[in-house]
Structure formats: C-alpha cells, structure tokens
Amino acid sequence: MSEEKPIGLAVAEKFFGLLLILIGAVTAYVTYNNPPGEYVAPFSFIFVGGGFALIAIGIILVLAKAE
C-alpha cells in the first residue's frame, strides 16, 4: 500500500511561495522607484536585494515538488 501525501501541505507551500513572490516584488519595486531620504539612500540596494531574494525563494517554493 502506498502512503497518501497530504494535499494541504503542497497547497500551503505553493501559496506561501506565491505570497513571497508578491511581497518581494512589491518591496523591490517600491524601494527602487521611491528611494528613501538622503541619509538612507546609499543603503537602499539592501532592500532591493532583499526583495529579489524573496522572489527567488518564492520561485523555488512554487517549483519544488512536495514529498
């Protein structure tokens, strides 16, 4: 007999991946188009990079096969 895999876990993983992609895209877009004030502006690349990292993690979660 084969064990059934929990479908809720796979759905939750895909949903969380899509949510991370959305949050990362919004973070990168807003930080790139509306840079912060003069003292923080040199460090805004950290938030853009963080947004891209969230997008990459979200893509991995969406493409991963749940076992």
Instruction: Render pLDDT for 18-54 as a digit per residue (tens, 0 to 9).
Output: 999 999 999 999 988 987 778 888 888 899 999 999 9
What's the whole-model pTM score?
0.82
Q: At 5, which helix (H) or strand (E)?
A: none
- Per-residue model confidence (pLDDT) at position 2: 55
11 in a domain, yes or no?
yes
Tell me if 25 is assigned to some domain.
yes
Is residue 1 assigned to a domain? no
Which of the residue ranges 2-6, 7-11, 47-51 would you say has the lowest mean pLDDT? 2-6
In this structure, is residue 23 part of a structural domain?
Answer: yes
Please tell me the total count of domains within the chain. Answer: 1
Domain for residue 2, yes or no? no
Range(s) of the domain holding residue 20? 7-63
21 lies in a domain? yes
Give the CA-trace dihedral at 22, 24, 25, 27, to 10 degrees: 120
